[in-house]
Amino acid sequence: MNEKKADKKGVKILVVGIAIIVAVVLLFLLFQSPIVQRAINPPNVEVISKSASDGLEGLDYVVYVHATVFNHGGSGQVTVWAEVQQGGNTWKKAQTISIDSKQSMDLTFKFKEVAFWSLESCYYRVWVE
């Protein structure tokens, strides 16, 4: 009779041990998931510098918006936007980037839509979503 109790106790210990191992493996795999990592520590990207320049590409007048971004958060994807306004016109461009934690990245947006002969000044801005 004591052998049956010992066998049942051994089986219970084995089942509990297997359940703990399975739970630990599942938790490990869950936290390795990019979706879970992004929820726990999402990217926190800041525009740390921006500037604009203009020039000619062939016969086309072009305005370039340059930006440097830095990620204070976890790795992931973000969308960086640049906008140029001239007179009553507004143009927007976006770049979706993958950026690691503590990484900076330089981006350039090219706007061919801006009018060279316009007397209106250009204004620009950059932001992250």
Task: Return the exposure string of 56-88: e unless at least 16 CB atoms fall within 10 Å of the residue's CB, then b.
Answer: eeeeebbbbbbbebebebbbbebebbbbbbbee
Tally of domains within the chain: 2
Chain centre to alpha carbon of residue 37: 12
pLDDT at 4: 65
Rounded Cα gap, residues 59 and 81, in angstroms = 26
65 and 124 part of one domain:
yes
pLDDT in tens, 59-116: 999 999 999 999 999 999 999 999 999 989 999 999 999 999 999 999 999 999 999 8
pLDDT at 2: 61
73 and 47 part of one domain:
yes
Range of the domain at 71: 43-128
E strands in 20-75? 45-57, 60-71
Given a cut of 70, whether residue 1 has pLDDT beyond it is no
The whole-model pTM stands at 0.73
27 and 73 part of one domain:
no
pLDDT at 42: 93
Rounded Cα gap, residues 26 and 121, in angstroms = 58
65 and 122 part of one domain:
yes
pLDDT, the chain, mean:
89
Asked whether residue 37 is domain-assigned, the answer is no
Asked whether residue 93 is domain-assigned, the answer is yes
22 and 58 part of one domain:
no
